A and B are shown apart, each in its own frame.
Chain A
Amino acid sequence: MRIGIVCPYSWDVPGGVQFHIRDLAEYFIRLGHEVSVLAPADDDTPLPPYVVSAGRAVPVPYNGSVARLNFGFLSAARVRRWLHDGEFDVIHIHEPTSPSLGLLACWAAQGPIVATFHTSNPRSRAMVAAYAILQAALEKISARIAVSEYARRTLVEHLGGDAVVIPNGVDVDFFAKAEPKAEWQGNTIGFMGRIDEPRKGLPVLMKALPKILAARPETRLLVAGRGDEKEAVETLPSRLRSRVEFLGMISDEDKARFLRSVDLYVAPNTGGESFGIILVEAMSAGAPVLASDLDAFAQVLDRGAAGELFANEDADALADAAVRLLGDPERRAQLRERGSTHVRRFDWSTVGADILSVYETVTDGTAAVAADERTGLRARLGLARD
């Protein structure tokens, strides 16, 4: 099958959607399909052979922050050229509502279009205003995929219609087979994510830490992720600061080893999560998970069966649960075991097969993707004869 995938965010900037697309493309290539990914990228960045650059993304203020987007005449022309050259059986657009490549591709293509909605943003005012324009482009999508039940609900509320839920994929064995690192083992709590992004929840964990250390003084907290380390420990009494170790940004291999080593993985995120891939990765590596009870997290953790949940933003509840888990090796072993059977459904072998089923369902008996030839003025006025 010839598959075209549209990535809305810059290939040179690491991010969840980019990684998802990379893994998906490589999975399909391994199965023998032909895949081409259209993504924004600087012209001088080295790209894998299956990625086609759509030009540099332009930073513009959008939706309260500066987003790097592709739009305008040149980008639209590149999208058309890619569609024309690719002769795809199906195209798969990610984040079609962001005013970037996804929307342009939706606008420019006709034929079987599959779209994945990753985020579950609250409805923005721009989207309300642009609803009519958006609707005309979005109604070309033959199949919609939401990454979680929560993302599907937002999609249904904002845009109407329906979607099938297919979770994000993880290479479970990559994490399950990683080698633990001795220096990260032994009474360790792991945290991963941007330090200076409050939504990732490090401040909640810092608030809970004194109580955890009071009950179990030998505990160490390992923090992986970029950000200002000094600022992060500011709220902590200085004698406790030595119990926190910052690892900075770590590679994919080290991430797997990190998750494989820690005794407890804590995800205190306070909001803005539509899936929670890190929880799946932690479970794949066999780390017992303690997470805030966000909708998306509760779903990934099978309503608390595959990992424990605590009340969001409640540092005391977090501390109590962490102390209890650290002192109960049996319960942790149980969580490890439940987690590693539970994550099988997020493995690429399952997720990829489901996405392929969607492609096959929409391509059954329809023509391939083509550039949407605009009906000329003459045709509209009924003058053209063919």
Chain B
Amino acid sequence: MKLYTYILVLTLVSLISCNDDFLEVEPTNLISADAIFSSPEGVKAFMANLYSQMPIEDFNSTPDHGIRYNASVNPNNAGFYPWIIADDAVGSEFHTLTYQKGFGDQFAWWIEGYELNRDVNLLLSVIPDLDADQSTIDDLLGEAYFIRAYLYFGLAKRYGGVPIIETIASISDGEDALYTPRSTEKETWEYVLKMCDESAALLGDGDGTRRRANKWVALSLKSRAALHAASIAKHWDRATLSGDAVDQNLSKMSAEDAAWFYEQCISASEQIINSDNYSLYQPAPSNSDEAATNYKEMFEDPNRALVEAIFIKGSTLPGITFGSNQDNWGNPAQTTGAWPHPGRFGPTLDLVDVYENYATPGQSTPVVTTVDGITDNYDGYQSTRNYLEFDHPADIFADKDARLRATVILPRTFWKDTEIIIQGGLIRPDGSIIIDAPGQINVGGTNYYSYGASAPNLYSGFSTFGGNMTKTGFGFKKFLQEDYTPILAWNQSVTDWMDFRLAEIYLNYAEAVVESGTGDQTLAGQLINDLRRRAAHTTTIPLTLENVLRERRVELVFENHRVWDLIRTRTYHTEFEQRDRHALIPIFDTRSMKYIFVRDEVPRTAPQTFPDFAYYKRIPGVATNKLVQNPQY
């Protein structure tokens, strides 16, 4: 009988089992929204979280895992960083531009973007009711608008026109409130600039730490975003697409819109340049060695260069969600400490060739390796050619712009008091060659090795050992900490990231002036030469598009602009159509006991192609969010 009762009770319970009101309890381990938004301090804490969600492309930004790829216990993508998917560097192991995710999903940032958008809208909805004075309210509003501008910039440069959502839909709004359609690409860019303006109007000069938004940070974002939009408008036709999204101008800009956006870039940049708040760090070095040291130190610790830094994403603690893996992946094999897989990025010869020599101002000066001076022969070593011989492998770079040796590690130069050996081959006394393969020979009682030393912990180039060696002939240096030796742990680097700095604003301004034919030509020319003067150039060069773009590539290299520059100018698909990237292979000739260099395709890589549709990324979930998909997905 008792059993019968139990079963009856169970039956009754089952009848009401979908009524889950009793689950609605206030959690005791979380702070409620009311508690946070009832004070300005709570709002500040909330704001800090919003900053951390911004799509800042720092050391933790990866093409295959998006931004903030330091939030897991094992953020291992083997160093697949943005700079190896363009022409500035080649990965030691990756021979494809896409790795795990296809072009359409690289740098994906849709869900994260709208999550942040919702948080911003939540904040904006409570700010007016805060018990605080007007200046505090203005600051909070200004920062919220800045974050909103930054996030829509992040969305627009990936997806084109996107839905602009400024309020949080309520459950009583009905279904249609959930389906905001995409704005046109032009409207989206205009919205980004408008938010920058509103932010700049509310904010002041800031507290000097460069870590929070202020008026100048908002204007810097405007400078960058306006140039991006203007370039797309001017150059969209270089990669014509078709489809519904194009017909509706969701992923299309028109050349006639370019002028307005260039104008916006020029005016925002001018305000920053003309303000007295910023200047170049160490603008007039006495020689090129000093220039190289200054440039290297600025990225090692941006806090040295607060005069130039406009916005810094700081990093204080190592560990998950805090640090990065920059020193792990970046160090050459010889200075890896306890980290098992360094040397992941090899700067390309293509990049090195872009730098000016001091003797040839205003010209990209490819590295000459043969007596005939021909630099477009990448057919590898040919015994019939006459190669130039050097006592020391760094001699071939002697006249190069100082920034080269501050950005990359040249063969047999010193890094952390260690001579970094990068060598790809050996010529035997009989004239035969070992190239891109292990080998050794004894000449006159001394052993010589094709990789320059006897064991993989004694050299840093060309060997396949562990995927730990550069195979371009150059090691990575920019941002690395000379005083820090990697340990066997993730997320240990705490290098600060300069997201905006004055040099970029100079370059944005100069490019906008040249591309639009408006603005102050004299000032633009002077800014380019100021940057070159800081790199110990003493001859001025004229303002031309070629000079501006070269200076941009050199000055801002590895600051995660290159991929977006290729995208916004619609040159990625032409630069990367069956593109081989190139190496400079140092070879030791045991006949002369000197070094020669071979210009070659990077060993063990295949030609790479960027497809035109990837200028716009794939929008996720179009079957349910009812948005018009970008072309060809």
The judgment on whether A and B are partners is no
